[in-house]
């Protein structure tokens, strides 16, 4: 998932996203959060684990959504409290673990029809086999599933909502997409690394969204006493850093509360460097390994939606919920969009 292999995902992501968008129909009104889940759950699962792992049967899709959402919503408490206190959360966790237990043999032997490359989960399974730790495979599967969906879906939601609530930015993005891919049509398009480079505003919008909706805290347990200024923090204590508040410091991000994608012009994104003090993906050894894939997935998602559909927001930009400290901020209340296929 590093930057070297990243663009090998471009074709797959474009195809999977187009497949899902075909189910959307020609026009309609829908809840934006639900829309993003229906688009990104199958795409992410089919790419990271194996094509076809995401169910195609209506009832099973509903079951997956219900259990993943219950697991995601309860994660902060569920990962710390005894499971007997959180029956529903525990039930959904077991359901998801069972899904992986059942499918791991198929994931292991899966071969892509196009090339022989491994999926991300296959690479994880190989490592577990080398470490003779295979009994933990379903748990790693669930970790990868949660890490890949729990932040990417709300970031895609917010990016879309921010762009639609800034008409000038929306217009510039639409013009950019038309200049690269031609006027809208119903035909499938291919998205290349070069095309993405011609549309930097989309990437800036995603990063600006992540800056504004960054995780509340990132935590580390102190293993050896550490001196910070005049304090010595003893081992066993927890040290926390808040990307959310750091990103609101005007010293590092002038006019921090405004959605200003153009501030990302200064970042050397070609060299894969973010702006100084941008900490939404953590830092150091345990920095998010999926960060470049997440950006790529959301970029392509935005390009395709705007290429095929004219969209508008039917509700004001929702507030962010203050319930979650871990992970990016979730929206509070409904936010509907209207979409109509472009001719």
The residue ranges that bind ligand HEM (CB under 6 A) are 1, 48, 144, 147-148, 151-152, 155, 210, 215, 218, 280-283, 286-291, 293-294, 328
Query: What distance in Å separates the CA atoms of residue 115 and residue 29, rounded to the nearest whole number?
Result: 38
Closest CA to 152 of 330, 334, 311: 330
Q: Would you say 279 and 218 are in contact if contact means Cβ atoms under 8 Å apart?
A: yes
Q: Would you say 121 and 54 are in contact if contact means Cβ atoms under 8 Å apart?
A: no
3-state SS class at 46: helix
Main-chain dihedrals φ then ψ at residue 231, nearest 5 degrees:
-105, 145
Tokens 């919920």 map to which residue? 321
The full length of the chain comes to: 343
Choose between 249 and 287: whose C-beta lies nearer to ligand HEM.
Answer: 287
Choose between 225 and 289: whose C-beta lies nearer to ligand HEM.
Answer: 289
Any residues with CB less than 8 A from the CB of 120 and at least 6 apart, and which? Answer: 1, 47, 48, 49, 144
Beta partners for 307? none
Listing from the earlier edge strand, what are the strands of the sheet with 27-31? Answer: 27-31, 336-341, 309-313
Distances (CA, A) of 12 to 20, 25, 47: 12, 22, 7
Any residues with CB less than 8 A from the CB of 319 and at least 6 apart, and which? Answer: 331, 332, 333
Closest CA to 202 of 299, 295, 311: 299
Query: What distance in Å separates the CA atoms of residue 156 and residue 151, rounded to the nearest whole number?
Result: 9
Main-chain dihedrals φ then ψ at residue 109, nearest 5 degrees:
-95, 0
Choose between 213 and 263: whose C-beta lies nearer to ligand HEM.
Answer: 213
């Amino acid at each position: 998932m590093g930057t070297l292999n990243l663009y090998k995902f471009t074709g797959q992501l474009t195809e999977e996203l187009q497949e899902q968008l075909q189910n959307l129909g020609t026009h309609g009104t829908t809840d934006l959060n639900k829309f993003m889940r229906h688009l990104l759950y199958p795409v992410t699962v089919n790419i990271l684990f194996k094509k076809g792992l995401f169910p195609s049967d209506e009832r099973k899709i509903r079951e997956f959504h219900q259990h993943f959402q219950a697991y995601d919503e309860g994660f902060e408490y569920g990962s710390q409290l005894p499971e007997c206190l959180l029956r529903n959360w525990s039930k959904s966790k077991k359901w998801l673990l069972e899904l992986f237990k059942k499918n791991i043999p198929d994931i292991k032997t899966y071969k892509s029809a196009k090339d022989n490359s491994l999926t991300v989960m296959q690479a994880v399974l190989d490592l577990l086999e080398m470490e003779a730790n295979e009994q933990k495979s379903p748990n790693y599967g669930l970790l990868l599933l949660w890490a890949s969906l729990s932040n990417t879906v709300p970031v895609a939601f917010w990016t879309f909502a921010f762009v639609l609530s800034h008409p000038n930015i929306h217009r510039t993005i639409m013009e950019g997409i038309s200049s690269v891919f031609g006027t809208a049509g119903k035909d499938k398009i291919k998205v290349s690394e070069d095309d993405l480079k011609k549309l930097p505003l989309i990437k800036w919008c995603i990063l600006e969204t992540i800056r504004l909706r960054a995780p509340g805290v990132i935590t580390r347990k102190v293993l050896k006493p550490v001196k910070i200024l005049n304090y010595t923090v003893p081992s066993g204590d927890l040290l926390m850093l808040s990307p959310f508040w750091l990103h609101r410091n005007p010293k590092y991000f002038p006019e921090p509360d405004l959605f200003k994608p153009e501030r990302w012009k200064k970042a050397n994104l070609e060299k894969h460097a973010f702006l100084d003090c941008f900490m939404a993906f953590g830092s150091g050894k345990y920095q998010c390994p999926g960060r470049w894939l997440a950006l790529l997935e959301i970029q392509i998602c935005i390009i395709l939606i705007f290429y095929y559909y004219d969209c508008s927001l039917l509700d004001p930009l929702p507030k962010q919920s203050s319930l979650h400290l871990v992970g990016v901020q979730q929206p509070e209340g409904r936010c509907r969009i209207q979409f109509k296929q472009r001719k």
